[in-house]
Amino acid sequence: MAALRELLAVYGALDAVVSQPIRSTTATPVVDRYLPAASEHPGWYNTIESTFFGPDSRQNAEPDGTLASALEGIVSATAERPLTTPQKSRLLYALASIEQVRRADPTIFASFAESGRGAFVNALATLGPDSRPIETRREKADGMAEALLEHIAQRFTSPEDFNVIREFAVAYDLLPGDALYVPECFPRRKIVNGHECVVVDTVCRSPDVSLQNMKAVVNPFNWDSNYPDFFCSMRDSEPVRTDGWGRVLEQVGFCGTGFFDLKTALKFYPSDDGDPSQARLDYDLDDPAPGPGGDGQVIIDRGWINMRADNADHDPTKPGVTVQTRKVVHILGWEPYVQVQLVSLSGYGTSSAEFLFGNAKKPPVDARPFHFLGPEDAGAKVPGSTQETPSGHFAPTAVKLWTDTTRDLTNDYVALAQKWLAGRVTLQDLAAYSATTSGRLVSTPWKFLDAMSHARYTPSGDPTNEQQGGAS
């Protein structure tokens, strides 16, 4: 979608501020405040532009021109298709940041304050609830623009203050209410398997979407339907894996507008352990890398999406769901800061929010079911199925080993297993428990430890392989 490229370009205007031959001494630290370390990595926007849209693509020249062109492009693109709620949230953050830069140095983004704030008002109108006509939203934006800008000036002093701005915008009908549930993206960089990766953790909740509806769209084969702006296609990948994991070929980029994309072969495993109130989806690079159809450009791509019913009854059919995600990625040959901006601004790192505020509200009838693993999956595993769990998955592996060995134990076993899964068990706990069991059970905890040492990661743990060390 063209609007996603234009949204990136709005942030590119901030990059243009710190990419000038002579930097503004008052504006540069403000850019760094809202786009941390931007002045240390000037030109990141040009790198993404030239990579995805070719060497002849538009490049940063000066901040005002970049911003004016981007805002015009957003207004034009959204006339055909509105921004997603997370994209609206990201655009509001950019507009608020730009206003603070302009206040620090009025010679920068001067056109942003001219002509009755027309460019700002038009962009602000694209953020309003889609249920209202654009003319109504523009009238609202025109009437509230100065109040919002004053609120930004007084209350938006750091990235952590952004939710205050969102709350104001929602209260005055300038932003849809579900924008308050969009997770803010604060990526970190971490060394994983010798590579500096982007790591994004999010926790978000929706009071309107049920776990059942969330599960109906979260299967990777649905990602291109859930968020077609960046997930261009999710295709079958042959041959079918024999270990119980699904296999899919992911193609991401600025779909329909660029000539470059990333093709990554992934494996994935959906599970719920028979508990209807929760579910999770683990994914990783297919193996051996790069996997069928993969282009080898993404050399680390792993993470998980954990979901649970979040209502008084823990009922998966009732509204209320909390989603916790982790995304870990490294693109070969890309400077880490450029990767951070791509993951953050494209929505790649927080794509689960696109699911939550998109198709999960009303799942398409042709969506692939949660347990679908591929075209030859014979209908896929269904809830309550006895299909064997892949051995590489931490929790099912652990529970299966314990269950097979200690089937007739009572409360002591259950308490210890739960303690282990919560990450609180110690070797002393294992030793004490072993002392009370039969000879057969004495060896089981050590089998348990061995199984865990070979697990790739846990649904609630850290798939970044932390023993590699080196967060930056």
The single-letter DSSP state of residue 390 is: P
Tokens of 458: 């846990």
- What values do phi and psi take at 413, rounded to 5? -65, -45
- Distance, CA of 380 to CA of 368 (rounded, Å): 10
Strand order in the sheet with 319-331: 188-192, 195-210, 319-331, 298-309, 278-285, 262-271, 246-252, 231-236
What pLDDT band is residue 35 in, cutting at 50, 70 and 90? Answer: very high
CA distances to 166, 283, 343, 438 from 160, in Å: 12, 30, 19, 55
Determine the pLDDT at residue 223.
94
Q: 411 by DSSP, 3-state: which? A: helix
Query: Is residue 347 a contact partner of residue 227, using CB atoms and an 8 Å limit?
Result: yes
What pLDDT band is residue 377 in, cutting at 50, 70 and 90? Answer: low
What pLDDT band is residue 359 in, cutting at 50, 70 and 90? Answer: confident
What pLDDT band is residue 383 in, cutting at 50, 70 and 90? Answer: very low
Half-sphere exposure of 443 (CA within 13 A, CB side): 3
Query: Given a cut of 80, is residue 144 above it in pLDDT?
Result: yes
What pLDDT band is residue 435 in, cutting at 50, 70 and 90? Answer: low
Report the range out of 292-306, 372-386, 411-425 with the highest average pLDDT: 292-306
What pLDDT band is residue 420 in, cutting at 50, 70 and 90? Answer: low
Query: Given a cut of 80, is residue 257 above it in pLDDT?
Result: no
379 — alpha (psi -120 to 50), left (phi > 0) or beta? left
Task: Find the range with the poorest average confidence among 104-118, 179-193, 300-314.
Answer: 104-118
Residue 165: CB atoms within 10 Å? 20
Q: Please provide the CATH number assigned to the domain covering 188-361.
A: 3.30.530.20
Note every long-range contact of 185-189, with CB atoms under 8 Å and residues 24 or more positions apart, other chains counting: 185/343, 185/344, 185/349, 185/350, 186/159, 187/340, 187/343, 187/344, 187/349, 188/471, 188/472, 189/336, 189/340, 189/471, 189/472
Q: Which residue has the tokens 């769901």?
A: 321
Got the DSSP string for 17-68?
Answer: HHTSSS--TTTHHHHHHHSTTGGGSTTHHHHHHHHHH-TTS-----HHHHHH
pLDDT digits (tens, 9 = 90+) for 215-246: 999 999 999 999 998 999 999 988 889 899 99
Nearest by Cα to 463 from 186, 183, 193:
193
Determine the pLDDT at residue 447.
46
**CA triple 405-408-412, angle to 5 deg:** 90
Tokens of 33: 């405040």
- Distance, CA of 188 to CA of 339 (rounded, Å): 11
Half-sphere exposure of 334 (CA within 13 A, CB side): 28
CA distances to 21, 153, 186 from 26, in Å: 15, 16, 24
Nearest by Cα to 58 from 86, 16, 107, 116:
16
Across 315-324, average pLDDT:
95
Average model confidence (pLDDT) for the chain? Answer: 82
- Distance, CA of 22 to CA of 41 (rounded, Å): 15
Tell me where in the chain the CATH 3.30.530.20 domain(s) lie: 188-361
